[in-house]
Amino acid sequence: MTDSTTTTDSTTDAAADPVLAEITAAVEAGRAGERAAARERLAAIWARIGERGDPFHRCVLAHHAADLQGDPHEELRWDERALAAAGEVTDERAEAHHASLHVAGFYPSLHLNLADVHRRLGHDADAARHLELARERSDALGDDGYGHMIRSAIERCGQRLERGDRSADP
């Protein structure tokens, strides 16, 4: 489930946040088809900022790194890192990046991503638990295109889980 919950924003001033600018460049490379190079760049940034670096940076980086993984076990590891980092992000820090961001709005997508990778790995109980958490937290989403996209993806993931569908998105 690829989405842009904690997407980087081109309006961000690179001089004000050079780490986020590096993350953005790596994510854009991945979206342009340079997935291996993007994974390497994000891993290098992660190694530099470390497990105790800025939680917003860690959350954004891990969220996007998960989407670039070819191995669902690695995807799960990055999704777990994103969720853990989100627990340390304050609204003030998120708003410093973009005034419209609130940490509560990160959780539906983060739990959706965890539900989806658990579904693909056959971890049905974990997938169901994260789907429920995604649903419970979806009230933090706006009544806009992004909110509708995440809510629809939650429902599709739930339907796929019910069918025992282990496939990845096309």
Q: Does the pLDDT at position 146 exceed 60?
A: yes
**Residue numbers of the domain that contains 102:** 18-163
As a whole number, the mean pLDDT across the chain is 92
Task: Report yes or no on 169 lying in a domain.
Answer: no
pLDDT of residue 11: 43
Total domain count for the chain? 1
pLDDT of residue 12: 45
Q: What is the CATH number of the domain that holds 114?
A: 1.25.40.10
Task: Report yes or no on 6 lying in a domain.
Answer: no
Q: Annotate the chain with DSSP letters as a single string.
A: ----TT---TTS-TTT-HHHHHHHHHHHHHHTT-HHHHHHHHHHHHHHH-TTS-HHHHHHHHHHHHHT-SSHHHHHHHHHHHHHHHTT--HHHHHHH-TT--GGGTHHHHHHHHHHHHHHHT-HHHHHHHHHHHHHHGGGS-SSHHHHHHHHHHHHHHHHHHHT--PPP-
Percent of the chain with pLDDT over 90: 85
3-59 pLDDT per residue, tens: 444 444 444 455 589 999 999 999 999 999 999 999 999 999 999 998 899 999 999
